[in-house]
Structure 1
Amino acid sequence: MITSTSPSANNWIRFVRKYGPIPANDSAFEEHTGRAARRAGVTPIAFTHPRFSEVLQCFAGRELVSVILTGTAGDGKTHLCSKVWEYLEGDGATWSSNNPYIHLTLTSGATLHVIRDLSAWVPQQGAEWETEGRMLLELFSNSLFENNTSDYFLIAANDGQLIETWRRLPDSPTVSRARSLFEQLLVEDQEEQPGISIRFFNLSRGSSAELFDCALEAFLSHPGWKLCFEGEAGSSLAYGQQSPIRRNFELLQTPLLQQRLRDLLELCDYNDLHIPIREILALLVNAVLGYAGKNCKDQLMVPTDIPRIITDGSVGEASIYNNLIGGNLRESRRESIGVFNYLDRFRLGHETTNRIDSILIFGEADEALHPYYQQYLGNDQFYGADARYQQAQSDYVESADEDISNSQFLEMLVTQRRALFFKISSSESQDLHLWELTVFRFAGEFLERVIRIVHPTINGRVDRHIVSRLVRGLNRVIVGMLINDDRKLCLGTSLQSTGAKVSRIYEDSISVVPSKGERVEIVWYGNKPALQVTLAENISESFPLNLVRYEFLSRVAEGALPSSFSKECYEDILSFKSRLLKALKKRRQTEQIAGDEFVLRFQRLRLDENGNPEHRTIQLNFSRP
């Protein structure tokens, strides 16, 4: 066995670690990695941003407009600016300078002003504006509302920074107008306004799953990996067949693992959790180089660590299945990095089923479970049932339940449950209840049978039983009783307030299936699915469904107490109930139903023995004057 490693391969690993979950100078990440790449003699990881062509068209098309790129740190704003500059044949030396403001002359003769880091151009809080900085931003404000300007801008700014900058500028009519424009575009999530020469790209509104697709391809296809796994380096201990670095890289290329990871990121998107490019790259680097043991700096492996890891039999500590969730990182570090914080909310590995744990603990000896055990653990020579796992498993089975020495095996169980989530085949996912390995038991259904059905690219119809289940959950929250009826959405109030926990005054019900203008359905609303309740023509209300809301309603429909799962969801539904009652009042006004002003009628709501709502009319008569 050749044990030496290639210097160029080692340089690549040392370089790619800089994308990983290690402390870094976030404010200059683009420049930092660029300098590191030049020193290592490699090229940075790069790909075309999904919105690059739209941004470029603003300066290369027939009608020029200024552009603001905003979003969270790591969304790729600086990199987008560099690609636009490169395409427009801007000077490379000028871009390599440390000046946050640069400019060039376009072919039309207009000037493109590029502020690639607004925070570096604006004076510190409390400091006076320099004349050049103030005048440039005032020029930008004026150019937005001029019909024949020759000055166009490309500005990159983090969320919150943009508005604060214009608040600090000396006030003027155009500065005030520009500030109001930016606030409106941000709050209303708009990209442009008619008659104003600007495009507003909020990169944090983009799809994390789409960014993942781009980043994954760029990461796996980078020539740096060939330096490691081909030629002499590929025969070394550090990069050979026994190397966890090589094994993790190979596993990251498998379609099933990629799809499961993408599903998690897509669910983050539909749970209003955005993951920027920088954190996606950190996730990929951690997947390949992560190590949960204590002897690797920053819990990331380097080539010199591999011989020791192989010798001491701790290869399992480098499991990609654990690394993908950030299980190799300290808790404080995991919580400080958005992507690992968000993925940790799935509680993957901490949730399980009796059958899954029976496979992991007793599967080797159980005749019925042995095929699963062999497929998912026995055949995995790297991260399956190795000698350490088998010994810990034996000790656990034979020891007393309260034996505290079993903690090591319990930690191994968490890792193996995570591994099963990425290993269980699609054909067996329902049989083994894949998504019950997470806290969101209905997440797979939400993704496959709701989002991917009603998405505008498909524009399909969700199964009726799913809509009915959500309606049953809504009924139980709105009324505050264990209603089993899922054919009608029941609206109730209380003599105290519409927000009371139990509403015994029956107002009305809306048919789930289309009937006399009423219906309840799941439609696409903005950027996510929504439960839309139609009371009459032109009278409807929508309840956007993110992952937590979908899980909440589904759990309540199955019998969970509303307040025990999510107080925020509970309050959101009560707010939706208030909007439905207002819509009901509007419908009644349009119907103009005449009533006796000397008679007060209301209906008391109760449930029959099967949980179906019944209502009995109570009438109060007043004496006529």
Structure 2
Amino acid sequence: MIQPAGSPATKAAPGRNKDQAHNWIRFVRKYGPIPANDSAFEEHTGKAARRAGVAPITFLHPRFAEVLGCLTGQQMLSVILTGTAGDGKTHLCGKVWEALQGDATTWASNNPYINQVLPSGATLHVIRDLSAWVPQQGAEWNQAERELLETFSRSLFETSTTDYFLIAANDGQLIETWRRLPDSEAVNKARSRFEQLLVEDLESLPDVALRFFNLSRGSSAELFDFAIQAFIDHPGWQSCFEGEMGESVAFGDKSPIRRNFELLQEPQLRQRLRDLLELCDYNDLHIPIREILALLVNAVLGHPTCNKDNLMVPTDVAKIIQQGTVAQASIYNNIFGGNLRESRRESIGVFNYLDRFRLGHETTNRIDGILIFGEADEALKEYYDAYLGNDPFYGADASYRLAQSNYVESAEEDNSNSDFLDMLVTQRRALFFKIPASEAQELHLWELTVFRYAGEYLEKVVRTISPPGVGNGKVERAIINRLVRGLNRVIVGMLITDDRKLFLGTSLQSTGAKVSRIYEDAISVNPSRGERVDVVWNGNKPALKVTMNESISESFKLNLVRYEFLSRVAEGALPSSFSRECYEDVLSFKSRLLTALKKRRLQEGVEEDNTLSFQRLRLDESGRPENITIQLNIPA
């Protein structure tokens, strides 16, 4: 936490402190969601930091030690860093260059290609921006550029080389560059290996002296842990909140900048925000470092009426307090980009992804009861006071109470309450971060999002079975049964209540028919004669594994959307209306299960005879499947 304002030990010259504080805020805004985002380029950030007289926000990338090890170990390997823009590839190259005692002046140059001789006598070639090194599309290759990449291609397959490379390239640039190079055996072979590494999501191949790091495959939640600590611990904030500046209007006790910075340090808010980013990971939505930093800056400085970028500067604070619009700087709304224009918010991945949770737009009667009627309702007043009444910054201020009163007293068809409805969105978002874990189940915390089962997915599935795992490492049988019930309803197309067996049905028309009444077989969920259904860890996420015998099994990866889909279907939602993509995914899994079933029958020696037998599925009054056998004799 920040030190108390006005601490005698930290006081400094007022003018100097003010300049430092204002310079820091001006600089840190460059990491925010602004159109001219200097953090898009590593060298631009460094220049901006030097102009402001501050240090840039920096931390070691989670893959740093592995990358450095490739270039310092007994068996050296070249390294390619790929990923989306903003994944920190150039910054990681810089840290490796620094660790290898590379010349700082050389790194500070604008040259996309630099090199140094290592203590071993080998040469390290660093291309920190491949797109800036190669010629533009349609232009002729410069001889030096072409020869360097050809040297790299050959070095990957030579048993002995003195040339090692560290190359940073955005997704798509790598393959395109090697397609444009003049054909040669080494170039063609290298391109083929790059394609294999990308398509199969591999980091290495046995015949290539290369480590391939796709930074877009890393955990956004892990990057968040590093980024938020570096952001909070940066000494630039000390110039804002210590000494006389900590007593100023801009950074004092009534400042929304100060309050947001304090809230960002609270463990519960950090954990809930991390949960959302981790769920993005399990929805296959990667958030690069640049956008995580933009999120953090926006969380602290966001305000919808401040300049064209909607980010506060110190001189804005006095006016915000005077106009009574402090509540509009709510960190709970800023986290979702609520202070930004819609077009800007949608153009930034992290806000686009977080918006998919629909947090603030989803609600429950209990939550809205607290927010709208809680002050007057004895049964809800305790919650109202805890979450709104006792929050002088972002709770029930004068503007909220006035809008609340007008809303309650107005007719239902009155359309003049849009301001209060917007306030409700912000307050629901605030409750998501304020409700303690002890009350999360009682108040149905995750029903404030479109993913009602997200909390269960994280705690009882992901964190139970992911390496190294916690608890006994097994998903509760009740959860598995619910997922199986959801599968049954999609596979068969009827409201089956049975969750002890996984039913496989087909149709006389096709395996993809909406209703499949022809019974093929049923797989026992609990272990029985080699059959079982489990939730296991598969690669980087959970999967529903259906085992038919010791050698035959099929897995269905459970990202968050699929998990929610099957759970909702199991509870009665219409499968095709919730998510068409998920519905098609399950039907594809059904086809794989039917193929596996045929394979098992072949192993068991089950042969066709002259009797064509069908078993037709129907449901009894309780929704349990029953089989009716229909036989047709085929002439010999």
TM-score w.r.t. structure 2 length? Answer: 0.97
Separation of aligned partners in 1, 2:43 and 2:73: 29
- Please, which moves more after superposition, 456-465 or 98-107? 456-465
- Following TM superposition, by how much is the alpha carbon of 1:403 offset from its aligned partner in structure 2, in angstroms? 1.4
- The correspondence for 1:528, drawn from 509, 534, 541, is 541
Q: Within 5 Å, which residues of 2 pair with 1:573-592?
A: 573-592=586-605
Cα distance in 2 for partners of 1:600, 1:295 equals: 76
How far apart in 1 are the matches of 2:452 and 2:505?
29
**Cα pair 2:31 2:38 within 8 Å, conserved:** no
In the alignment, which residue of structure 1 is the partner of 2:355?
A: 344
Shift of 1:25: 5.4
Q: Is the 8 A contact 2:39 2:290 kept in 1?
A: no
Letter in 1 for 2:460: R
Amino acid at match of 2:514: K
Work out whether residues 25 and 32 of structure 1, in 8 Å CA contact, stay in contact via their aligned partners in 2.
Answer: no
Equivalent in the alignment of 1:492: 505
Separation in 2 of the partners of 1:261 and 1:104?
A: 42
Do residues 182 (structure 1) and 194 (structure 2) align?
yes
Runs of 5+ in structure 1 lacking a partner?
A: none
Q: Secondary structure at the match of 1:129?
A: coil
Give the corresponding residue for 1:540. 553
Instruction: State the distance in 1 between where 2:163 and 2:415 align.
Output: 70
Q: Which letter does structure 2 place at the counterpart of 1:549? A: R
Alignment of 1:470-489 (within 5 A): 470-489=483-502
Q: Secondary structure at the match of 2:213?
A: strand
Checking the alignment, whether the CA contact within 8 Å between 2:31 and 2:37 is kept in structure 1 is no
1:507 and 2:514 correspond: no
Decide which of 393, 399, 405 is 2:410's aligned counterpart: 399
User: Within 1, Cα distance between the matches of 2:564 and 2:36?
Assistant: 37
Unaligned runs of 5+ in 2: 7-13
Q: Give the distance between the partners of 1:611 and 1:379, measured in 2 at CA.
A: 50
1:356 counterpart = 2:353? no
More displaced, 365-374 or 28-37?
A: 28-37
Mapped contact 2:223–2:289 kept (Cα < 8 A): yes
Task: Tell me how far 1:28 sits from its aligned partner.
Answer: 5.3
Letter in 2 for 1:557: A
Q: Describe the SS at the equivalent of 2:537.
A: strand
Shift of 1:63: 1.1
Residue among 336, 344, 364 paired with 1:333: 344
CA distance in 2 between partners of 1:473 and 1:448 (Å): 20
Distance 1:28 1:618 in 2: 67
How far 1:296 sits from its partner (Å)?
2.9
Q: Does 1:255 align with 2:267?
A: yes
Q: Following the alignment from structure 1 to structure 2, what is the Cα–Cα distance between the partners of residues 228 and 84?
A: 32
Match status 1:451 vs 2:434: no
The aligned residue for residue 297 of structure 1 is 308
The residue type paired with residue 554 of structure 1 is: S
Q: Aligned AA for 2:481?
A: S
Q: What residue identity is the alignment partner of 2:160? A: N
Letter in 1 for 2:330: S
1:210 aligned residue: 222
Offset, 1:97: 0.7
- Tell me how far 1:622 sits from its aligned partner: 2.2
Partner of 2:434: 423
Q: Which whole-Å CA distance do the structure 2 matches of 1:62 and 1:76 have between them?
A: 27
Q: Name the amino acid aligned to 2:530.
A: G
Q: C-alpha displacement at 1:576, in angstroms?
A: 0.2
Counterpart code for 1:68:
I
Pairing 1:42–2:42 present = no
The letter of the residue matching 2:397 is: D
**Is 1:235 aligned to residue 241 of structure 2?**
no
Identity of aligned residues (%): 76
Q: What code does the residue aligned with 1:514 have? A: P
* Number of equivalenced pairs: 622
Instruction: Give the whole-Å Cα distance in 1 for the aligned partners of 2:529 and 2:40.
Output: 61
- 2:128 alignment partner, one of 116, 129, 134: 116
Q: Does the aligned pair in 2 maintain the 1:26–1:73 contact within 8 Å? A: no
Shift of 1:27: 8.8
Matches of 2:37 and 2:77 in 1, distance apart? 32
2:90 to 70, 78, 84: 78
Q: Deviations over 1:297-346 (max 9, x none)?
A: 30100001000000000000100000011111111111111100000000
- Tell me how far apart the structure 1 counterparts of residues 306 and 440 of structure 2 sit (CA, whole Å): 36
Per the alignment, residue 10 of structure 2 pairs with none
Superposed CA RMSD? 1.3
In the TM superposition, residue 214 of structure 1 has moved relative to its aligned partner by 0.3
Runs of 4+, deviation exceeding 4 Å = 1-5, 25-28
Q: Relative to 1, partners in 2 of residues 1:473 and 1:28: Cα closer, same or farther, differing over 3 Å?
A: closer
Q: Tell me, yes or no, if structure 1 residue 324 matches structure 2 residue 341.
A: no
> 1:617: Cα distance to partner?
1.0
Question: In the TM superposition, what is the alpha-carbon distance from 1:595 to its structure 2 partner?
Answer: 4.3
Report if the CA contact (8 A) 1:296-1:305 is conserved. no
Whole-angstrom CA distance in 2 between matches of 1:147 and 1:615 = 65
How far off its partner does 1:252 sit?
A: 0.3
Structure 1 letter corresponding to 2:535: I
State whether residues 31 and 39 of structure 2, in contact with CA within 8 Å, keep that contact through their aligned partners in structure 1: no
